[in-house]
Amino acid sequence: MERVPEDCFAHILSFASPQDACSLCLVSTTLQSMADSDSVWEKFLPLDCEQIVSRIVNPSFSCSSNKKYMFVTLCTPQLIDGGNKIFWIEKNSGKICYQLSARELSIAWGNCPLYWSWKPVEGSRFEEAAELRTICWLEMNGSISTGMLSPKTLYGAYLKVKIADRAYGLDSLPSHVSVELPNYKSHGTVYIRRPSHTHSHAENEEWLEIELGSFYTGLDKEVVRMGLKEVKGVHLKGGLIVDGIEIRPKNVPNKAQKRFSHTAFPV
């Protein structure tokens, strides 16, 4: 192995995964030295890593840091863009993940204090979340460019919410959920309700996930639009607390969080 040029070894490892590179470190000290090199871990970092690091709120490292250290640090969710988004790398695959805060979403009448209030919520990754006071037209949408995500990857979009004790009207009718690209649409319905086994106060509950749909990232840069709405009912509804939309690879399990699912289909 000592005869293999480092750049050649790095190129070979670029077809593997970060998990494979860590496993090779256990084989021998020679492989550990090569697998830990900057030339290897630079392959696992996003191409626009410098631009991403420049957007981090209070970064703990710079682009001149050890590349493996940068990768490991970016596996921990990082607040970016003034605290309105979160970026992280899935540690096993190296795939890019994002979360858009509630402030990054387009929420119908979201800036009207009669209908929505904004406040810190325990367990949120952001400074504030949006709580629905009362409304009959429930609609929120978010968007992201596929150029910000990993190419050739199946992604899922998940709305993170809590349901307050005072919640009402949210499950009177099913809500419509969707994910749309220029040439693909995913549609479905879901009832927004607290799991039957949950009885504790909403402030102390885990965030629930409503799956909005899935999409595949190709090589072209396209805008993905994701949303939830219930606008057919004329009844009032309230008590929904919205943290934002999380976009992550579909093959990344997250058993610590509960999910809602729906039927999706291309049109």
Per-residue model confidence as pLDDT tens digits over 169-180: 999 999 999 999
Dihedral sign of CA atoms 113, 114, 120, 125 in order: negative
Domains of the chain: 6-80 (no CATH), 95-197+205-249 (2.60.120.260)
For the cut 60, the answer to whether the pLDDT of residue 263 exceeds it is no
Residue with the bigger pLDDT between 77 and 264: it is 77
210 pLDDT band, cuts 50/70/90, is very high
The confidence score (pLDDT) of residue 28 equals 63
Can you give the pTM of this predicted structure?
A: 0.84
259 pLDDT band, cuts 50/70/90, is very low
The answer to whether 46 touches 96, Cβ cutoff 8 Å, is yes
CA-to-CA distance for 236 and 20, rounded, in angstroms? 53
Dihedrals φ, ψ of 167, to 5°? -55, 145
How do residues 100-147 score in pLDDT, each as one tens digit? 999 999 999 999 999 999 999 999 999 999 999 999 999 999 999 999
Residue with the bigger pLDDT between 27 and 202: it is 27
For the cut 80, the answer to whether the pLDDT of residue 148 exceeds it is yes
The confidence score (pLDDT) of residue 255 equals 43
The confidence score (pLDDT) of residue 21 equals 73
Would you tell me how many other CB atoms lie within 10 Å of the CB of residue 172? 13
Helix (H) or strand (E) holding 30: helix 29-35
Going by C-alpha positions, the residue among 254, 244, 243 that lies closest to residue 202 is 243
The answer to whether 77 touches 89, Cβ cutoff 8 Å, is no
The confidence score (pLDDT) of residue 168 equals 95
Q: What is the number of helices (H) and of strands (E) in the chain?
A: 6, 14
For the cut 70, the answer to whether the pLDDT of residue 245 exceeds it is yes
